[in-house]
Amino acid sequence: MVRPSALVLSSHAFFLDRPAESDILSRCGIAFAGANQYEANKGNGILFGIELLDRIDLRGTDLVVLSACQTAKGEVHNGKGSKSLQFAFQLAGARTLVGSLWDVPDQATALLTIDFFKNLADGQDKAAALCKAQREMINYRRSLFQDDHPVYWAGLSLTGLWRTDAAPK
C-alpha cells in the first residue's frame, strides 16, 4: 500500500469540552465536504479522532500538518500526555505532526504553513522550519501592523520526530 510522505489537511476542526466519562477521541474531529449535510449511509463529512484509528493507516507518513483550529487541543492525562486529534493522527502512524492549540486565524496560519514548507525545502529540520516561520510571522506582523500578538504565530505546535536524520529507514 502506498502512503503519503506528507499530508496537509486545511479545514475546520474542533474539540468538544464534555464530561470526562466520554472518550476524548470521540470529542475531536475534522470537517470535510458534506459536514453540513447529513445523508443516511454516506456519513456526515466529519472524521472523529476515534474513527481515524479504524479508517486510516498512516504508518510510514513522515509529516501531517493539520491546518485547522484546535487540532492539538485536548485533555492532559498524567503520565500519558495530551489526547487530541493530533494524538489520534500519531496513533494512526504519522511520525511528525503540526497541529493548532487554539482557534487560529486563517490567513496567518496559511502564511505560516507556506513558510514552514519553504523552510523544509531549504533543508531545515522540522522544528527549525516551524520556528523560522513563526519568527518570520512576528516580523511580518510588526512591520505591517505594529502587532506581534501570539495568536498569529504561536498557535502551531510540532510533535514527534522533528529531525530529518531521526526518521526510521
Return the axis-axis angle of helices 126-145 and 106-121, rounded to nearest 10°.
Answer: 130
Q: Where do the domains of the chain lie?
A: 6-166
CA distance 126 to 99: 13
Residue segments in the chain with a per-residue pLDDT below the cut of 70: 1, 19-21, 38-43, 78-81, 164-169
pLDDT for the residue 37: 75
Question: Taking the complete model, does pTM exceed 0.85, yes or no?
Answer: yes
Give per-residue pLDDT as tens, 123-143: 999 999 999 999 999 999 999
pLDDT for the residue 80: 64
CA distance 97 to 33: 23
pLDDT for the residue 162: 81
CA distance 110 to 24: 27
What is the residue whose three cell numbers read 493507516? 57
CA distance 14 to 19: 16
